[in-house]
Amino acid sequence: MPENLSIFKTPESQARYMAAYDAVLALWPVPYESFDIPTRFGKTHIIASGPKGAPPLVLLHATSASSTMWFPNIADLSREYRVYALDVIGDAGKSVVSYPPQNKSDYALWLTDVFNELNITQADVVGASYGGWVTLNLALYSQERVKKIVLISPPAAFAPFNKMYISRIVPSMLLPIRPFIINSIRPLFVKRPNETYLEQLVLAATCKFKLVFPTEFTDDELQQIKTPALLLIGEKEVIFSAQKAIDRATRLMPNIQAEIIPDAGHIPSMDRHEMVNERILKFLNKNFHASELQK
């Protein structure tokens, strides 16, 4: 069994990050349980809220964001669902990676392990940014485990990265100091994030991520995904072209509906949390037919 592969550069940076994580978790507006489960890739940390007998809903966060990013959404989402917010393996958070995922399909294996440990046969899944890309992999490789999926601004999945934004984040990657990190984070939001949460994001940016870089899904892969899907992209998306992503997704995926969220950036679940919560719950609670999804 390998040693845990820490994503933190020093014990001191890990302690600072964990303190910031817990400070954001203090903003969680509903009761929760916090626990770890084993998977073939390492220990996965989960924050669970909502009635234990309710249908399961799995939340997958954006890169660097951790499961704490859902604090504006959890009250609404957990009223009728048992919500499991996961710290993605290999990303910033409280999960501990032992065997880093090597390819796209590994994320489906990881989530299959999580589902099995939680005794979940099938669940709805909501993924934001990188979490949306991971969600698509689950729907591609393990469709039988997914009921419906909500994709919030998945990068690269449907449209290539915006080169101008990539050039903006290069300084923070080469020299991860606070001014450069904030300069790379700020364009992702229309509204300035909660200051406590912003501190966690800044500290996360100094981590050594052990993630598979998100790549575009092929036409054939997208056509294979039959799971009912909702795609939500902010009007002021900066990482990729929102319209190109929506056009390609709706052309290739047979059971998808898509919407632009006004006055929102790359993380509309934070910029416009009430609207996004309403869209998610309406989609999950409606019995869709394929013909309706194309309207």
Domain-wise residue ranges, the chain:
11-293
Q: What is the mean pLDDT of residues 114-131?
A: 98
pLDDT in tens, 184-218: 888 899 988 899 999 999 999 888 889 999 999 99
Q: CB under 8 Å to 7, separation ≥6 — which residues? A: 90, 91, 92, 97, 207, 208, 209, 210
For a pLDDT cut of 90, what percent of the chain falls above it? Answer: 81
Q: What is the CATH number of domain 11-293?
A: 3.40.50.1820
- Tell me whether residue 247 is exposed, middle or buried, using C-beta atoms within 10 angstroms of its C-beta: 0 to 12, 13 to 18, 19 or more: middle
Tokens linked to 118? 């939680």
The verdict on whether 45 is a catalytic residue reads: no
Please give the torsion angle defined by the CA atoms of residues 167, 173, 175 and 179, in that order, rounded to the nearest 10 degrees.
70
| Nearest CA-CA partner of 196 in 69, 56, 29 | 69
Three-state secondary structure call for residue 125:
strand
Per annotation, catalytic residue among 45, 61, 266, 273: 266
Backbone angles phi, psi at 45, to 5 degrees: -95, 140
Backbone angles phi, psi at 115, to 5 degrees: -60, -45
Query: Would you say 53 and 82 are in contact if contact means Cβ atoms under 8 Å apart?
Result: yes
Q: What is the pLDDT of residue 163?
A: 78
List the Cα angle 267/224/158 in 5-degree steps.
30
d(CA 36, CA 291): 41
d(CA 271, CA 275): 9
Average pLDDT score, the chain: 92
- What angle do the packed helices 178-185 and 163-174 form, to 10 degrees? 160
- Full-model pTM: 0.93
Q: What is the pLDDT of residue 123?
A: 98
pLDDT at position 161 over 90: no
